Amino acid sequence: MSPATHLDVENIRADFPILTRQVNGRPLTYLDNAATSQKPNQVIQSLVDYYERYNSNVHRGVHTLSIEATEAYEDARGKVKRFINAPSTESIIWTRNTSESLNLVAYTWAEANVSAGDEIVTTAMEHHSDIVPWQQLAMRKSATLKIIPETENGRLDMEQAADLITERTKIVATTHMSNVLGTVVDVKALADAAHAVGAVILVDGAQSVPHMPVDVQALNCDFMAFSAHKMLGPTGIGVLYGRPEILEAMPPWMFGGDMILEVSYEDASWNDLPYRFEAGTPNIADAIATGVAVDYLEALGMENVWEHEQKITEYALRRFAELETINLLGPHEIEDKGAVLSFSHDSVHSHDLGTALDQLGIAIRTGHHCAMPLIRSHDIVSAARASFYIYNTEAEVDVLIDGLKETERYFSKAGIA
């Protein structure tokens, strides 16, 4: 598919074998993409191909299989580099997931650079993975953790951000897109504010990199973390991007094979970037499959992916407006909003909504979405969430709305709704 064309959703859906199955006698309507995306045949087959044809360790062998595995593994790193417009492959570090990428920064750069009295700034919209490491760091270092609040319309309060980022700030940690509200944060503005006071900025791109064009150099971010499984790739593989000059000054986090340059019985020295941060046998097959997922998305064109999701989200916002007992969290308009709709019901618990919808073959997310402080700030303890991707359609939005109406009728007859 040419990047200059709109998405052919029917052809895309044909690439995803799971979308043909039925759940509880109904066609699967998969609307839990913010948690994990489904995988196309091309990605699935790349895993089979690796294990059947050239399964071997990388960087350590001179035989054919090892050479082929190493080339495919490093080729995938190059694809990720191009996908986010990183300045070099040395700035792309393979991790297990977004959480590990964020923790890597907390336990290396931040451990070495944050001291007593310093400030760490994050936002009210963060996933636990971008809150808890900074809470723990602040306690270890006697530093201060500051939170940029959410506005009444579900945006980040940029006026408060300007006041909270001070000369004492050492790091700003922010989501690029909220996994609960769908809000797209102005990362460039936060990066400029951070750099103006000599701080660095770390971006959680788990919800943005799969869905929109992302250019780490244009965003001016120092670090960005994301996971493959949310962007058509396999689980268990993630990425940390870091500015090479910053990574070069960071100590290793884990020690072992391949991250060393030289070892004696008395001491050791560290390998070059990015291998310094990739101790032990890496997740070779899943890294290669991540490269295939990148190929798939680039063939679609990320501008087209974003346009498609914006169209579906705008349609979903109009349909949700019909539901008087449903309360949407976050922005109710499409501007600076991704394909995530979290909501609560006036009287039906989100888990009951999710269970009832599952009986209709509809997969959504329920709970606090690993963002408990954010959910509780909306005076609820749990929310339902529908999230869309390249293979979702407006017809599936209709299925969801009809399912919610049917669910409400059921609970109303039971005297609950």
Q: Provide the residue type at 262 as one letter.
A: E
- For 53-64, give one letter per residue: b (16+ CB within 10 A) or e: ebebbbbeeeee
Bin 346: left if φ > 0, else alpha if -120 < ψ < 50, else beta. Answer: alpha
Among 206, 370, 386, 399, the one annotated catalytic: 370
Give 251's DSSP letter.
P
To the query of whether residue 370 is one of the catalytic residues in this protein, the response is: yes
For residue 302, what are the contacts with CB-CB under 8 A and spacing of at least 6? 212, 213, 214
Question: Closest Cα partner for 134 from 68, 201, 54, 55?
Answer: 201
Dihedral (CA of 395, 340, 7, 16) sign? negative
Q: Provide the residue type at 135 as one letter.
A: Q
- Provide the token pair at 356: 């009832």
Asked if residue 340 lies in contact with residue 184, where contact means CB atoms within 8 angstroms, the answer is no
d(CA 183, CA 40): 27
Asked if residue 138 lies in contact with residue 120, where contact means CB atoms within 8 angstroms, the answer is yes
Q: Give the DSSP H or E segment for 154.
A: none
Radius of gyration of the chain (CA): 22
d(CA 173, CA 181): 17
What amino acid positions are annotated as catalytic residues? 370
